[in-house]
Structure formats: C-alpha cells, structure tokens
Amino acid sequence: MTTEHITIIGGGLAGCEAAWQAAERGVAVNLYDMKPHRYSPAHEMEDLAELVCSNSFRSDQLGSAVGLLKEEMRRLGSLLMQVAVETAVPAGKALAVDRVRFAAEVSSRIAAHPLISVLRQEVDEIPCGSSPTILATGPLTSEKLTADLMKLTGQENLAFYDAIAPIISASSLNMDIIYRKSRWDDGPGEYLNCPMTKEEYYNFIKLLGEADTVPLKSFEDPKYFEGCLPIEVMLARGEETLLFGPMKPVGLPDPRTGQEFFAVVQLRAENLEETSYNMVGFQTKLTYGAQKVVFQAIPGLENAEFLRLGSVHRNTFVCAPELLLPTLQMKKRPDLFLAGQLAGVEGYVESIAMGLLAGINAARLAGGQTLVVPPHETAHGALIRHLTETVPKRFQPSNVNFGLFPPLAKKMPKKLRGDYRAELGLASLDEWVKSSAIY
C-alpha cells in the first residue's frame, strides 16, 4: 500500500529543498521547524533556510566541483539555487547571497506551495508510521532528537564543532587603508582587503595566540572540519599557517599602487547594499571581548563595529557508510531518510543537494516508484559515493571535490580536467534524468 504524504523535520536548507522537490512531484508535505518557539545557539531569524556561518555558496565556475554541483541542481529544478541567484550579492567568481532576503524568499515560496504545510513546532522523537520521513535537522539537532536518533545509530553518531566568522558594519571600515580587489582579477573586484606588513602580521598573531577562547565543556571532544577551522586552531599549527589560509596575500596587490603585502585579510559583502561585511575564513571561538581586541588590530578595522561576533556551534552527523543506503535511506529503517549535514556532508551547497535527492526519493517511495541514485560521474553521485562507499573508520564529512569522483579514463593537463569532468558529469546527469523519469 502506498501513501502520497511525507514528513520532513527541519526547515533549514536541506529540509526546504526536500519539501519543494517532493511537493513538485505531487506529494503532500508536512514540514516541521521549531522556530520561533525555540532557537538553536546559531540561529536568530524566524525564517526558514537561515544561513549562519557564511553567505557564500562558493565558486560558481563550472570547472570546479561545487560549480558543477550547483549546475546539476539547477537542471534538477532546485528551488534554493534559483532563489540564490535572485538574491545574489557581488562576490567575484563565487555565488554569495543576501542572507536575509534569501531566507525570506525561500520561506515565502515554501509557505505558498499548495502541497506544503509548515508546522512551527519542535519534534522530539522520530515519527514511526506508514509514510516516509526525512530527518534534516542539521548540525544543531536538539538533544532529545539526537538521543532518539542514537537509538538507531548507536555510537556511530558523532559530534564535532564549527565556528562562525564575525560580520562588520561597512560604515566602520577605514577605506583609506582597505582596498577593493578579487584575487588575481585585473579589475577592482568584489572583495575588500585589509593589508598587513610583516610587523603587523606578527603583532596580530601574538595577540591571537594570547587571546582567551570560549572553553568547551569537560565532556566535549572537538573534532573540527578541516575546511572550517577556527583561526586560533590554525595558528596553533604554526606561526605562518594563516599565510597559506585566510590571510594568503598572493594575487592581491593594491590596484591603487601595485604594492604587495605580507598578509591580507579579506572581507566579503553580506548584502546587496554592501552595508555589512563578513571576515572571510575568520571562524573563531575567541571570547567576544578578545575578538574585538584582536580583530581591531587588523589595519583598516581599528574602529570596526561588529554586527555579529564569532561563536562556536556543535555539528552532529552520522557514520554514513555504516548507516545509509545510496538512496539516503537508513538501512535499519527504509522509511527514514537523512539529508543535509546530518547525513555526513559539509557545506551549504552539499546540504541542499542531499535535501534535493532525499526529497525526490521520499516522494518516489510515497508513490510506490523505484528509488533512484545519481551516477558516480555527477557531483551528486560523487557525494553519495563518499557517504556510502568510504571505509567507515576513515569516514569524515566532506565538501564536494573532484577527489571524490571516479578516476579519469585518460590523462590530460590539470587545467583542463575540471571542464572535462563537468562535461562528463552533465552528460551523465541528463541521461540519468531521461532514463529514470526523475520529473
């Protein structure tokens, strides 16, 4: 017996995309979100699909893995990718959004869909019923729901910590020092750059190394994602580590003078009006007081007004190779799908992609159709392969990258590989869509 109804718990990026995909396939959706009755430590807005760590969806170049993933989602009818383009702010070759407009527009379209019911209430237990359920509660899954999930996963349910970067008011920036340029671009670019001499850099890392951090609780074991390390954790690996990370100066000479610098801190616009800026790569768990002292030592930020200071938040995910099928169903409970970061991917775009696939498959399960798995040559398929074919003991969350794709059948120069993979991936996706009757 089939049912034409599914339940989705979590109104973040993955949950909203999953709801849209299912509803567009004629399946009714109950979408649960606990806001505004309760907020996680990292959330502030009532709207669905709130972005908390950054406003960037990263590179929009088709020859990059994440650029390919976004193009695949566009071809699969992604709501969130459409809204991202509509609410984009200048960010060079990246896709970044006005986070307030983005969340408001996603919320509006989800609420207006005739087959989606948004229920503003907290869910403490995973439903057990005849209809499919998608769990998309993200990195800050509540303690009660995590405990219920643990009954299914056992000790494989792991936790590590992400850190959020500060946001600064544009009016408080010293534009006599700061200059506009994107890395390697000939024109002025979309990023603001705070330049540092060698002396200024070493003064900065001295302050950073001596600054107080927010202590973790005694039972907490921080396992940071390598692509989102707090700056103080990076510094602990060596005095020059930051020069190869968020303070890398290469490709950023001052277009006004041609001068190159020992280190550079980049700022990216948070909204179209460019009234606020995100400190790129400056995730941190410094105390609020320490952040003001340390970051105001950066040239151009001496009078910085912080609209949001950095903070640490917990990230919960499962050991996907042990627990998930390639369809994103739980092996022990095929009626239950996991989506987003909870499934073991890292990043906004990857979370949306897993929500998209979970929504498609939950709708197909509800309608009695065969479930589908994207080809490995696609970016979606590469992520699924990582989630389900990695050796469990070696598994850790990952952004999409070409290292997850099958090896190329022929050798070619490195600069051509990205475009070639994109060509293969999109051809494979189009054939899969036709043969699987995705729509």
CATH number at residue 283: 2.40.30.260
Domain shared by 267 and 329, yes or no: no
| Domain edge (last residue) among 270, 292, 314 | 314
CA separation for the pair 297, 207 (Å, rounded): 8
CA separation for the pair 169, 293 (Å, rounded): 16
Domain shared by 168 and 283, yes or no: yes
User: What is the span of the domain harbouring residue 345?
Assistant: 5-157+318-436
CA dist 328 → 134, 153, 282, 298, 353 (Å): 9, 14, 33, 45, 12
Question: Which range is least confidently modeled, 42-56, 60-74, 365-379?
Answer: 42-56
Domain shared by 331 and 265, yes or no: no
Residue with more model confidence, 269 or 425: 425
- Residue 188 tokens, joined: 């002025």
Residues 222-281: tens digit of each pLDDT: 666 666 788 999 999 999 999 999 999 999 999 999 999 999 999 998 887 888 899 999
Of the pLDDT bands very low, low, confident and very high (cuts 50, 70, 90), residue 3 is: low
The whole-chain average pLDDT of the chain stands at 90
CA 15 to chain CA mean position, Å: 13
Domain shared by 10 and 147, yes or no: yes
CA separation for the pair 19, 14 (Å, rounded): 9
Domain shared by 330 and 401, yes or no: yes
The three-state secondary structure class of 134 is strand
CB atoms within 10 A of CB 331: 12
Domain shared by 9 and 152, yes or no: yes
- Residue 392 tokens, joined: 């469990």
Q: Is the pLDDT of residue 156 over 90?
A: no
CA separation for the pair 341, 52 (Å, rounded): 14
> In one letter, which amino acid is 150?
M
| Domain edge (last residue) among 255, 280, 314 | 314
Q: Is the pLDDT of residue 203 over 70?
A: yes
Domain shared by 148 and 194, yes or no: no
The three-state secondary structure class of 43 is coil
Segment 279-304 shows an average pLDDT of 95
CA separation for the pair 203, 102 (Å, rounded): 38
Q: How many residues does the chain have?
A: 439
CATH number assigned to the domain comprising residue 325: 3.50.50.60
Domain shared by 137 and 34, yes or no: yes
| Domain edge (last residue) among 314, 341, 374 | 314
| Number of domains within the chain | 2
Domain shared by 254 and 322, yes or no: no
Using CB atoms within 10 A of its CB, is residue 153 exposed (0-12), middle (13-18) or buried (19+)? middle
Domain shared by 289 and 408, yes or no: no
Q: Are strands 263-269 and 191-196 parallel, antiparallel or unpaired?
A: antiparallel
Domain shared by 151 and 273, yes or no: no
- Residue 27 tokens, joined: 């399946």
Domain shared by 243 and 345, yes or no: no
Report field, pTM of the whole predicted structure over 0.75: yes
Task: Identify the CA nearest to 204 among candidates 290, 303, 304.
Answer: 290
Question: Which range is least confidently modeled, 2-6, 196-200, 352-356?
Answer: 2-6
Q: Is the pLDDT of residue 200 over 90?
A: yes
